[in-house]
Structure 1
Amino acid sequence: MANWQPWRSTGLHLARAFTDYELGIHWSQVQMQSGTTGINALRMYDPTKQAIEHDPDGEFIRRWVPELRDVSTSLIHQPGLAGANYPPPIVDHAAAVRRAGAEVQRIKKRAQASGRTAEVLERHGSRRPPPSRRR
């Protein structure tokens, strides 16, 4: 995929932009979220779903996006539907997730991918046995 962002330059940009930057957590999170650790599942967050879950009343949105201050709470997470003077989304999230998922599957099918994941897990993974699950 031509538009995938490299984690180092993206992480540096975020480190400079975050008001709550914390060195001890930042870089490991950037790597994990970008899927480069090979340990955790690749995460493809839906920004609208995250906003609804973490800012249901739109307080953060209204504070930092002043042109949306007067949008109703029922439409704050989809300002285009409110007729707000706000640009349309620049990314079709559902289409981007489909493309990314297909690319991840293509990469996983390569022979060296499974060997690389095992190597990363051996180097960086937890040595504790997984917790037993109750049935």
Structure 2
Amino acid sequence: MSKGLPMQAGVTATGTIRIYNPIKNSEEHDSEGIFIKKWIPELSYIPPHLLHEPWKLGLIDQQLYECEIVKDYPFPIIDIEETRKKASTAIWGIRKKEEIKVQ
């Protein structure tokens, strides 16, 4: 599949669960941070390579790029990897139930 084209329904193996990582998708589809900087002006001075995870900025970078974490931009409210694992476990648990299996 060519980069940039949407995934087509029905072309992946059956039984596949897709849980997308919002950080990875942001980096892949908005590598320069154009969308982010348009809608979150507090991040407008942060360079693209740091933009997708601004809560990881060190104190010097926060001063340099005029974005104080907590004051200007919050820490994440969820742990992405932890919630991905929970969602995957929940989905696989549901899919294993006899009443939802396709006959």
Provide structure 2 residue ranges, at least 5 long, that are not aligned to the other structure: 1-8
Give distance in 2, aligned partners of 1:60 and 1:102: 32
Amino acid at match of 2:93: R
**TM-superposition CA deviations, 1:49-70 (whole Å, max 9, x none):** 0110011011111111000001
Give distance in 2, aligned partners of 1:75 and 1:90: 19
RMSD: 2.0
Q: What TM-score do you get using the length of structure 1 for normalisation?
A: 0.52
Provide structure 1 residue ranges, at least 5 long, that are not aligned to the other structure: 1-31, 33-38, 119-135
Work out which of the residue numbers 78, 92, 96 in structure 1 matches 2:79. 92
Partner of 1:46: 21
Aligned pair count reads: 79
Give distance in 2, aligned partners of 1:49 and 1:43: 13
SS at match of 2:35: helix
Q: What TM-score do you get using the length of structure 2 for normalisation?
A: 0.67
Partner of 2:55: 80
Work out which of the residue numbers 104, 117, 127 in structure 1 matches 2:91. 104
Amino-acid identity (%): 32
Amino acid at match of 1:78: E
Partner of 1:17: none
Partner of 2:6: none
How much does 1:40 deviate? 7.8
Call closer, same or farther: CA 1:40–1:59 in 2, change over 3 Å: farther
How much does 1:43 deviate? 2.5
Amino acid at match of 1:65: I
**Correspondence 1:56 to 2:31:** yes
Amino acid at match of 2:35: F
